[in-house]
Structure 1
Amino acid sequence: MFNKSKTNNVNPTQAGEQAPDAEDLNNDVENEDELNEAVTQPATNAISQPTQRTSMMDMITTAATKPSILSEGFSFRGEIAAKGAIHVEGALNGQIQVDELTIGARGQVEGVVTCSSLHIKGKFSGTATCNELIVTSSASVDGHVVYQTLSVQKGASIKGELLLIK
């Protein structure tokens, strides 16, 4: 289907050359359907084709469907504000404002957290405000957590205050 000779981005009619006819194209295509498609397609200059750019908001919206992951061995200190979910297997220290925060079994979060859903499997210390709080059997919580719905598994370590807000 492709000509094996050197190609460039210049339209042959722009360079003063004749555009290839159907017979010339017949040597480069394998069947009649490809030939008809090649003849009926207009020649285009690759430079004149507009490139579709994605806006920053489109990227943020797309990213919101997949969690951001802070891997084991990675440490972050600072402020995070994001739409969507964050999964922490490393260490996170600071002020976090996200839709969903999951602290993995090897993850550690210390600081002030504001989120819709907080799922703790690892260690959390600090202050959190969330709608849904899930504390698994491997979790360790040390601090003050305000929640609307709560689920705690047997074996979880909770030191501090859990406060129900309606």
Structure 2
Amino acid sequence: MFNKSKTNNVNLSQENASMPDMEEEQVEAVAEEEVSTQPAVAAPAQPTNQRTSMMDMISTAATKPSILSEGFSFRGEIAAKGAIHVEGALNGQIQVDELTIGARGQVEGVVTCSSLHIKGKFSGTATCNELIVTSSASVDGHVVYQTLSVQKGASIKGELLLVK
């Protein structure tokens, strides 16, 4: 659109040069007339699924797990909505919806979550609704759960307590 009006102005300037008796006001009027006769460009439609609030963005982000990579070590307290996947070392008090301890991950401390999936090493105390212990897992501590799945080969030292 802008290029066309610039082109029109160039053309008008060339016409103006060839017709020296035409005044500038008349040239401007002709330019306005040419611009107004061009078809209007429609504004782009707004997407219908556009986010309306910050809470929508936060709830969407909460579905993706936060990852503690191998070689990364964290000591402290974590409280978060959503999931955390640990491949490094985590020591402290953890309160999340889902905690997955990867095959190379190590978690030590007090854990409160809905789902605890252990593939690596866990030591401490945990309270969860669902406990999954894979064949490569090592558990040393006290875990309270409602549903349990343990694969053959898992190492469990301590106490697993079913709560209904």
**TM-score (ref. length: structure 1):** 0.70
Cα distance in 2, alignment partners of residues 137 and 143 from structure 1? 17
User: Residue 134 of structure 1 corresponds to which residue in structure 2?
Assistant: 132
Q: CA deviation at 1:59?
A: 3.6
SS of aligned partner of 1:62: helix
Give the 3-state SS of the residue equivalent to 1:159 in structure 2.
strand
Distance 2:157 2:70 in 1: 24
Cα drift, residue 54 of structure 1: 5.2
* Unaligned segments of structure 1, at least 5 residues: 4-16, 26-34, 42-51
Structure 1 residue 61: Cα displacement: 1.0
Residue 95 of structure 1 aligns to which amino acid in structure 2?
Q
How far, CA to CA, are the matches of 1:161 and 1:21 in structure 2?
85
Cα offset for 1:58?
3.4
Partner of 1:36: 39
1:49 corresponds to = none
Q: 1:60 aligns with which of 58, 61, 67?
A: 58
Report the equivalent of 2:100.
102
Cα deviation, residue 21, structure 1: 5.5
2:63 alignment partner, SS class: coil
Quick one: percent identity of the two aligned structures? Answer: 86
CA contact (8 A) 1:72 1:89 kept: yes
Q: Distance in 2 between matches of 1:83 and 1:160?
A: 28
Provide, for residues 47-104 of structure 1, a one-character-per-residue CA deviation record: whole Å limited to 9, x for no partner: xxxxx8953x334312211111111111111111111111111111111001100000
4+ aligned runs moved over 2 Å, structure 1: 20-25, 35-38, 52-55, 57-60
Residues 1:86 and 1:37: Cα distance change in structure 2 (over 3 Å)? farther
3-state SS of 1:116 partner = strand
**Partners of 1:76 and 1:106 in 2: CA distance:** 15
Normalising by structure 2, report the TM-score: 0.71
Corresponding pairs, count: 133
Change (3 A) 1:89 1:36: farther
CA distance in 1, matches of 2:87, 2:67: 8
| Residues in 1 aligned to 2:74 and 2:2: alpha-carbon distance in whole angstroms | 50
Cα distance, 1:22–1:84 mapped onto 2, change above 3 Å: farther
Match of 1:119 in 2: 117
Equivalent residue, structure 2, for 1:82: 80
**Residue equivalent to 1:163:** 161
When the two chains are superposed, the root-mean-square deviation of aligned CA atoms in Å is 2.8
Residues 37 and 78 of structure 1: is their aligned pair in 2 closer, same or farther, counting only changes over 3 Å? farther
Mapped contact 1:60–1:83 kept (Cα < 8 A): no
Distance 1:59 1:124 in 2: 32
